[in-house]
Amino acid sequence: MNDRITTLDSRYGYAVSGEQRNKVLRNTYWLLSLSLVPTVLGTWAGLELGIAPLFKGFLGAILFLAVAFGFIFAIQKTKDSAAGVPVLLAFTFFMGLMMSPLIQHTLGFKNGPELIMTAFGGTAGVFFVMANLASVIKRDLEGIGKWLMVGTIVLLVGGIVNIFVGSSAGMMALSMAAIGIFSAWMLYDIKRIVDGGETNYISATLALYLDIINVFQNLLALLGIFGGERD
């Protein structure tokens, strides 16, 4: 059948055309690529400004969550307007700032640049695999969304608890679980676009950006623990 014919997708309750799904997917990938630019700039600014002490400990985690959720709320409110893209890019700059302490820590290793490139390549590989799986899986994945949300909440609580405990083993376990959960989120979010469940490319980009940044950061943390070489 002609992919341009609009069909009713009963899972989401409205008509979605193949052309529209492809357009959302293309725009999402384009904006996702663009979002890497302010992320890199934010990381560079964070390294230059030395903001790491501002976000240490429990209060730092609360400050980060407050600002991050504020940005996410603003993106959702502006996603259908011309302000949506600038707000999203501002958020990715902020996330770059927040990532700078981890990058700074990793660069303290003799093989720090190699670890960063390995984490980047590994994250790109995960994305490639999940994007291809989403295009071939016929099964509806909507049902796993609630379980992924539960897993994400458990991760968040576990991360806050580990701030007080300071357990290296706990950090490793959380990082490994986060890579698995956010890789699954990546598959779920791409599949929603492919199936027509997400029709706004700004919302789609936000979801995938959060998946990617979480996989990257946790993979980099594990690489630092297991493969970091001190001078």
How much is the pLDDT for 135?
Answer: 87
Rounded to 5 degrees, φ, ψ at 8 are -90, 120
Q: How far apart are CA 25 and CA 131, in angstroms?
A: 11
Q: How far apart are CA 26 and CA 200, in angstroms?
A: 11
Q: Which residues contact 107 (CB under 8 A, 6 or more apart)?
A: 113, 116
Is the dihedral angle over the CA atoms 221, 181, 189, 145 positive or is it negative?
negative
pLDDT tens-place string over residues 172-187: 999 999 999 999 999 9
How much is the pLDDT for 167?
Answer: 76
Kindly list the domain boundaries of the chain, sorted by start residue.
Answer: 11-227
pLDDT tens-place string over residues 69-122: 999 999 999 999 989 999 999 999 999 999 998 998 899 898 889 999 999 999
